Chains A and B, each alone.
Chain A
Amino acid sequence: MAYFDYPGNFDVIIVGGGHAGCEAALAASGMGMKTLMITHDLDTIALMSCNPSIGGVGKGQIVRELDALGGHMARVTDFSTLSARMLNTSRGAAVHSPRAQCDKKLYQSAMKHALELADNLALIQDEAAQIWTEGSRLRGVITARNTRYTAGCVILTTGTFLNGVVHIGASSFRGGRYNHPPSDGLSPSLVALGFKLGRLKTGTPMRLNGRTIDFSECEEQKPDEPPALFSHFTGRTQRKLLSCWITRTGSRAAAVVRANLNKSPLYSGRIKSAGPRYCPSIEDKIVKFPHHPEHILFLEPEGFDTEEYYVNGLSTSLPEEVQLELVRSIKGLERAELMRAAYAIEYDYCPPQQLDYNLESRMLPGLFMAGQINGTTGYEEAAAQGLMAGINAALKLKNLAPLILGRDESYIGVMIDDLISKGVDEPYRIYTARAEYRLLLRQDNADLRLMPHGFRIGLVPERFKTGFDLYKNTVELFRSRDKRSISWSKACARKTPPDHQETDGAMAPWTRAKAEATAKIEKEYASYIALNLREAEKMKRFEHVIIPERLDLAAITGLCLESKQKLLKVRPGTLAQAARIPGITPTDIQLLWVHVSRMTKTNTKISDRGGRT
């Protein structure tokens, strides 16, 4: 076969231009790597294939974290927001989460523009067909047009495209999205390399023409004014925000679903793979909760310049004619016209236990994966993984230690640790319930937690450093003012709290008010935070006990067979990671510890005993 060998070498190639791919490309190129993004269609870069919404409980925190590390999602969201609310404000600050509806097209074009403007980043419209290897070494990517690109690292962010199959009622056809061809080559290429693949399912509801919706029959949900912003660096939103609308299914809708269950591929058994329990289809809701007389639906605009509305809560794989009947059985939608039908999609994913904690595959060094290919669901989860894969690919090529975030440090760390050590059996979504140190992982302190990493790796510009340091010190001052342990002079070289104008100018984009608010939250939670920190500290000691790659787990006597298999499957990097694998016992951990200590040839002191008498 005749190949066109693209001149020059890339450092990093990203396959896919979705939410994971965009962050990966911007992170790698932002860290100075010569980067290439291959996408089959430049017009679908950063497309919100499902709900044009960013954030939500847990997800909102992730986007704030991503922003603190220097990612782009938060800024692009703020730019394209058309409606926004801070969720959970009736609850404690630990679970306050921002959520925004975005203008689908604005979001896409803003992200595409950011990619085009980025230094060191090339974009090419082509289909990645094969992972190019020589022996056991990664060479790069071969495309459907027979172009060969070489690179040190390749990041796969393929979304739902690997062997994607779309289902609407009884009809199904191959596709990575409704009207886009799937990727045929990459799955076989991964299998040939020895990767195990699995299958998952997700879906999206129908879209309606807003001019056919009777909003007077719906309940208005007004946006927050002014809306909370996702990015630490955004001043304020540009545009006048829009409302969303609420309606509910009733007994008629339930009757339509029940009468047509046999036509749903979910119930006829045609779709066998697991979908996210958090996004149940309307079939599931009505069958599993028959005693609920109604189910809430949100009608959400897809843009400023379109009448298209997203029907949040009405995912289904029923045939189109039933979808229409179903929609029209609902209050306010009696005369609604479908613009796009709801559908379900099945796709291949690569069980994430095959990755290391830096998102690099163990089988083929240099090959990274991020997003739905790792079994997750959600733009935010995907973007955060893309960012981490991009950062870690760059760190690897620079011969620097990987950036692995702790569970006590971020939701991103919780998610990646969960993926690698536990795997998934349904599309993985973040919940605050997954974080054992929930009170530490708040949206208000994402910057304090992670921005130091952002500065260190170079994705947050240096010019923000002075402001950040001043902000950090100001929080510390507010936090400890009662204790008198830290004086104002120490932090700000002055005796009294500086007034608003002075400080806000010096610490922009941060403000004194924000510092005070964060300090107040921490004071309210103080005793609980102290407990969380103590637990985290305990765990940290074991995070530092590295399990060497050369440790022969199979040869450790005393480990039961089941534990051995689990450890061999996950290959935990540290003792703490080993301890988090379900089913591992304290005895297993002790045995591992003994062997690790013996290997490292230095006795790890349990604690510093210097202070003891």
Chain B
Amino acid sequence: MIIPDTTQTIVAPASAPGLGAIAVVRLSGPEAHNIASAFLKPLSAFKKPRPGTSYLLKAEENGRLLDKIVVIFYRAPKSYTGDDMVEIFCHGSPYIISRLLRLSIANGAREAAPGEFTLRAFMNGKLDLTQAEAVNDLIISESAASHRAAITQVEGEVSSRIRKLRGRLVDLLSELEVRLDDAYGELPALDSEAFAGRTAAAAAGIKTLADSFEHGRHLKHGLRVTIAGAPNSGKSSLLNRVADSDRAIVSPKAGTTRDTIEERINLSGFTVIFTDTAGISPAAEDAVEREGMRRSIKALKAADIILWVRDISKRDSSADRRVAAAIKRAAAPGTELIKVFNKSDLPPARGPGETAEGISISCRTGRGVDALKDLLVGEERKMFSAESSSVITSARHYSALLGAHGELTRIGGLVGHGPEFPLELAAEHLRGALNALADILGETTPEEILGRIFEKFCVGK
């Protein structure tokens, strides 16, 4: 049933999505403190938290540090929503935010509907009646913003997979309902083993999909961008330019960067991991340089995007050709290659025909760096949207699938009772599973179940 359930604890990012170094994840509802205590450490902070005081805590997932975060506790009715509330201030990475949402949901929260925090505030008398119009507008604008994740707007492969799974549940439920409403005992008995098998298969399918939320590669690790190029072509300078820091040691002497250097950077809200490779040179003499080479090849293999940096003021050297060969050999299929011509502040030695294939920049003056960033953001967007069509990226969908899976696993125990297992109780769980999926695909109406029954079975007098 579509109704905002005010007894549940809800969770959602309370800061604008995308940009921002710091994000806020807000939990509101009677269980807010309990849920947060399941993954925020140390636990002692929850013993007697002082409302309105900020606490520096750690968010942990499976015992591993996810992020150091600042938390503020609120007690009803003294909070924005009027509920018990927890606000978690974390680093603004979509990955960290999505993990915090996942942890909250796994511990019993539900993702807030658009405008739901404000709705609660309004219903709890925290907002003046004259502000109702503003609440109204907020709900409208937030629902527009979350359109992509909303019911029936799921697209691509995930949508068709969920639809198919839902179809299987409808089939299973109709098998039960037709027997529960069978006044004449005309139907053959239900094959309980086959039914259990089909239920387990559907549950497994749902689990696989739910798990993809954890494994969404880009969401989890960020986009991997590997910078490759001949020695002294300006790879480290480029990394410094993009990261605005002096992370890599830069010196005019070739071969300064012996190791691969990783830098996590937030670009338009996406995490990007830049790897600056050691120069790829055949003359790697000592063991350290050879190790550096090995790591560079590995970084090329793992890359989603390779930035191939060359010096615009020089013609292709043998080093450049070796890098080209290394990229060709190491890059995985589907890796995006972006040609970068550095040192555009110097007189060019390459023809415009060649440089037009890539992007010209100057790490020294900064010219062209923003254009390169824009290009990267564009590539990121493309990859993220390709990914989100095959894995679960919305916490809401994750929560729905988790709920459905939980219901289905309980049918197994009932069917264990043998052929005379209680159909009406198995039906309760199937209904529960379909209700959970309603958050993604809308409600399953009795009419749909009845339709399935009349299509499949010859029943009635």
Contacts and interface: CB of A to CB of B under 8 A. Distances in A.
Instruction: Note whether A and B form a binding pair.
Output: yes
Nearest to A534: B7
B201 interface: no
B425 A433 contact: no
A569 interface: no
A541 B450 CA distance: 29
A597 B122 contact: yes
A436 B431 contact: yes
Interface in A595-610: 595, 597-598, 601, 603-607, 609
Given A57-B181, A87-B183, A97-B183, A92 B461 contact: no
Interface in A117-172: none
Nearest to A51: B461
Given A603-B123, A612-B84, 18 more contacts: A88-B182, A90-B185, A91-B423, A95-B424, A288-B458, A315-B461, A431-B177, A433-B177, A433-B180, A439-B424, A541-B6, A586-B3, A587-B115, A594-B132, A595-B132, A595-B136, A597-B129, A606-B120
B151 interface: yes
B124 A99 contact: no
Interface stretch (A181-189, A263-271, A290-298, A381-389): A290-298
A91 B180 contact: yes
B357 to A, nearest CB: 48
A160 to B, nearest CB: 18
B422 interface: yes
A97 B151 CA distance: 38
Interface string B13-54: 000000000000000001000000000000000000000000
A92 B424 contact: yes
B113 interface: yes
Contacts of A541: 6
B147 to A, nearest CB: 10
Given A431-B181, A606-B6, A601 B449 contact: no
Given A542-B3, A590-B115, A433 B123 contact: no
A285 interface: yes
Nearest to B173: A433
Contact of B113 (A58, A91, A557, A590): A590
B139 A587 contact: yes
Interface in B120-136: 120, 122-125, 129, 132, 135-136
Interface string A408-452: 000000000000001000000001111010110000000000000
A593 B119 contact: yes
Contacts of B151: 585
27 contacts: A57-B183, A88-B182, A95-B181, A277-B454, A277-B460, A278-B459, A292-B458, A296-B184, A433-B446, A433-B453, A434-B446, A436-B1, A439-B428, A535-B1, A538-B5, A539-B3, A558-B137, A580-B1, A582-B443, A585-B151, A587-B115, A590-B116, A590-B139, A594-B132, A594-B139, A595-B132, A612-B84
A71 interface: no
A597 to B, nearest CB: 7
Contact of A591 (B7, B136, B185): B136
Contact of B461 (A279, A438, A582, A609): A279
B450 A433 contact: yes
A50 B445 CA distance: 30
A221 B136 CA distance: 63
A261 to B, nearest CB: 17
Contact of A603 (B129, B136, B460): B129
Contacts of A542: 3
Interface residues of B, number: 62
Contacts of B75: 613
A102 to B, nearest CB: 16
Interface in B175-191: 177, 179-186
A579 B428 contact: no
A539 B7 CA distance: 11
A97 B186 CA distance: 16
A531 B428 contact: yes
B197 interface: no
B76 A298 contact: no
Contacts of A438: 424, 427-428
B140 interface: yes
A573 interface: no
A597 B150 CA distance: 25
B461 A579 contact: no
Interface residues of A, number: 73
Contacts of A587: 113-115, 139-140, 143
Nearest to A598: B132
B4 interface: yes
- The 3 A-B residue pairs whose C-beta atoms are closest, nearest first, are A558-B140, A603-B125, A278-B460
A556 to B, nearest CB: 8
Given A57-B182, A431-B181, A607-B6, A280 B424 contact: no
B136 A558 contact: yes
B420 interface: yes
B424 A590 contact: no
A433 B122 contact: no
Interface of B: 1-7, 30, 75-77, 82, 84, 113-116, 119-120, 122-125, 129, 132, 135-137, 139-140, 143, 150-151, 177, 179-186, 420, 422-425, 427-428, 431, 443, 445-447, 449-450, 453-454, 458-461
B446 A431 contact: yes
Nearest to A576: B3
Contacts of B449: 433
Nearest to B125: A603
B184 A579 contact: no
B423 A92 contact: yes
A606 B424 contact: no
A575 interface: yes
Contacts of B445: 582
A89 B267 CA distance: 65
B119 A590 contact: yes
B447 to A, nearest CB: 8
B123 A597 contact: yes
Nearest to A613: B75
A351 interface: no
A88 B180 contact: yes
B181 A528 contact: no
Contacts of A590: 4, 113-116, 119, 139
Interface string A503-524: 0000000000000000000000
A433 B184 contact: no
Contacts of A612: 30, 76, 84
A609 B77 contact: yes
Nearest to A433: B177
A589 interface: yes
B180 A432 contact: yes
Contact of B132 (A296, A535, A597): A597
Contacts of A92: 422-425
A445 to B, nearest CB: 15
A97 B459 CA distance: 17
A528 B123 CA distance: 31
Nearest to B443: A582
A584 B458 CA distance: 33
B445 to A, nearest CB: 6
Interface in A525-573: 525, 528, 531-532, 535, 538-539, 541-542, 557-558
B177 A589 contact: no
Contact of B135 (A594, A601, A604): A594
Given A278-B460, A279-B460, A90 B424 contact: no
A56 interface: yes
A94 B180 CA distance: 9
A585 B150 CA distance: 10
A605 to B, nearest CB: 7
Which of A433, A541, A579 has the most CB atoms of chain B within a 10 A radius of its CB?
A433
A525 B179 CA distance: 19
B265 to A, nearest CB: 36
Given A541-B6, A576-B3, A598-B132, A431 B139 contact: no
Nearest to A582: B445
